[in-house]
Amino acid sequence: MSGGELLEMCTWQARVGGLDAAIRALQAAPRLLGDDDDGLAGAWTADAGPLNRLIHLWRYRGPTERALLHSTAAQGPLPPPDVSIGFSSELLEPLPFSPPLRPRDLGGFHEFRIYTYPTSALPDLVERWSSVIEWRQTLSPLVGAWITPAASGSALTRLVHCWAYRDANEWQAVRALARSSGRWPPPAAGRPTSILEQSSFVALPLGFSPLR
């Protein structure tokens, strides 16, 4: 990652009826870290799949800044205990073709797709995606494509990629066009797919989200 930038995707699972309170708590969290290019990068609520879920993506200058923010619960991206029944976070690294994570207005309907791969498959994935990613973005914008850093000795990694659409109709039309083209997802040249697991969810960016 350039300049020591560090990304973190946090997920709060709110109690039924508690999502609005969780959103208010997130909106009140200090952006901190000095300028508009640091702090909260995006915030979404899940609209399909697991409900009452708040997803937020944070950008830090590096591990020291992240540790500083997390050292004080009132200042960090931590869930309010009275409304949250679950919290998870994972660090992410952008793939070479991932757009800069900066404020952009891309459309109000986003899909997060999460794939699990053997770590050994990543070089092939990057090569195949790099050859067609520009074409794929003519159909709809890529919000970002990130991987979980491979822990020492880990055999698996997760790919998180997020795509933007104007609405559900465009989402379905673009996905059908991409599949019928034969270019997306990028073919594996006759080899069996290396994807071990797939999941996806639709998310709607919040009004205060820098990415929307």
CATH number of the CATH domain containing 107:
3.30.70.100
Distance, CA of 40 to CA of 54 (rounded, Å)? 13
Number of structural domains (the chain) is: 2
Residues 157 and 201 in one domain: yes
Render pLDDT for 111-161 as a digit per residue (tens, 0 to 9): 999 999 999 999 999 999 999 999 999 999 999 999 998 765 678 999 999
pLDDT the model gives residue 82: 77
Per-residue pLDDT at 35 exceeds 70: no
User: Do 121 and 177 share a domain, yes or no?
Assistant: yes
Q: Report the pLDDT value the prediction gives residue 135, as an integer from 0 to 100.
A: 97
Based on the fold, state whether residues 56 and 144 are members of the same structural domain.
no
- Average pLDDT over the chain, rounded to an integer: 85
Q: What percent of the chain has pLDDT over 70?
A: 83
- Chain centroid to Cα 19, Å, comes to 19
Q: Which of 17-21, 78-82, 101-105, 163-167 has the highest mean pLDDT?
A: 163-167
The predicted model scores a pTM of 0.88
* Same structural domain, 64 and 130: no
Same domain, 145 and 167: yes
Residues of the chain by 3-state class (helix, strand, coil), percent to 5? 25, 35, 40
132: in domain: yes
Domain limits at 33? 1-92
pLDDT of residue 14: 92
Residues 5-15 have a mean pLDDT of: 89
Q: Could you say which of 66, 92, 118 is where a domain stops?
A: 92
Q: pLDDT at position 31, please? A: 58
Is there a domain that residue 23 lies in? yes
